[in-house]
Amino acid sequence: MIIAKDITKSFGRVEVLRGVSLQVEAGSIHGFIGPNGAGKSTFLKSLVGVVRPTAGTLAVAGFDALRESLKVRRHVGYAPAETSLYHRLRCSELLDFSIRYHPAADYERGMELLRAFGVPAERRVGALSHGMKRKLILIQAIVSNAPLLILDEPMEALDPEARREMEQLLQDELQAGRTIFLSSHDLFSTQRLCSRVTFLHRGRVLQDGLVAELLSGRSGRLRIQFESEQTAASLPSDSEMHWSGDGTTWELRFDKPLPDVLKLIATLPVTGIRDDGSLDDLFDRLYERADGRSA
């Protein structure tokens, strides 16, 4: 659904994207992860023609995004991170205005979702809270009924209940055959939603892969409970194993296959092991290394 090859973008002398290449498969939820300033929003804006890349090729929904941006937009429901909307319009009016360009849009469903998420349809957009604006932006993208949803920080500013409801709504859209490409700082939601993720660092792809494979790879973190007190000297250690803790409770961070780690600790008086592997943990390790910090 999205094929990007060597996308670069510079604003003056500042290079924001540096040869970004990735693919988003149809019928998947693909996460785009990175800290502020990594270039995520710039890349998403390139997909819908708001920003024009300096170099590279970009295909979205089968169209050349650089030459056929209007055709691309018909096939994309886009929810930007910004909430600077037409503040004098009422929510119902902004919904109608936003989706009118899409031939299969469903205004009535949009009104139903506004009610379901507690967004007052007749209130002017300028009077909404930040969280309410986020809901409105997401709803208009969803009810566009475009085959591809591009969502920039969809869970930002949503309360926990609204976040759970939005996650379920996106899962339902996936089951209906839509493709979703989203950027997010909410790694917990990203891990629950996405089958594949791409990590971006200073405009470059740092790592890309299936979530299940990334979390079952060579790196990880275990919380280990011992029957008796241990010291750092009594625990197996090398350049790929790092212990922290004291007494009977320790944390092990490792950069080798899990079976090899388990063999090394098999003779220790272990009473419990908890795998703390998560996208959040993987994020920390990747960016520590990329920035030259100790893992």
208 torsion bin: left (phi>0), alpha (psi -120 to 50), beta (else): beta
Provide the pLDDT confidence category of residue 41 given band limits of 50, 70 and 90.
Answer: very high
DSSP string, 65-108: TTT-HHHHHHTEEEE-S-----TTSBHHHHHHHHHTT-TT--HH
Q: Does the pLDDT value for residue 294 go beyond 60?
A: no
| Amino acid type, 129 | S
- Phi, psi (5° rounding) for residue 212? -60, -40
Number of alpha carbons in the 13 Å side-chain half-sphere of residue 200 = 28
Q: Quote the CA–CA distance of 215 and 203 in Å, as a whole number.
A: 23
Q: Does the pLDDT value for residue 293 go beyond 70?
A: no
* Fold category of 2-214 in CATH: Rossmann fold (3.40.50)
What confidence tens digit (pLDDT) does each residue in 221-239 have? 788 999 999 999 999 988 8
Query: Strand ranges (DSSP E) for 1-66?
Result: 2-11, 14-24, 29-33, 55-60, 63-64
Provide the pLDDT confidence category of residue 182 given band limits of 50, 70 and 90.
Answer: very high
Q: Residue ranges per domain, the chain? A: 2-214, 216-290
Provide the pLDDT confidence category of residue 219 given band limits of 50, 70 and 90.
Answer: low
Q: Does the pLDDT value for residue 145 go beyond 50?
A: yes
Q: Which CATH number fits domain 216-290: 3.30.310, 3.40.1620, 3.30.70, 3.40.50?
A: 3.30.70
The confidence score (pLDDT) of residue 189 equals 84
Edge to edge, the sheet with strand 219-230 lists 241-255, 219-230, 270-275
Q: Does the pLDDT value for residue 295 go beyond 70?
A: no
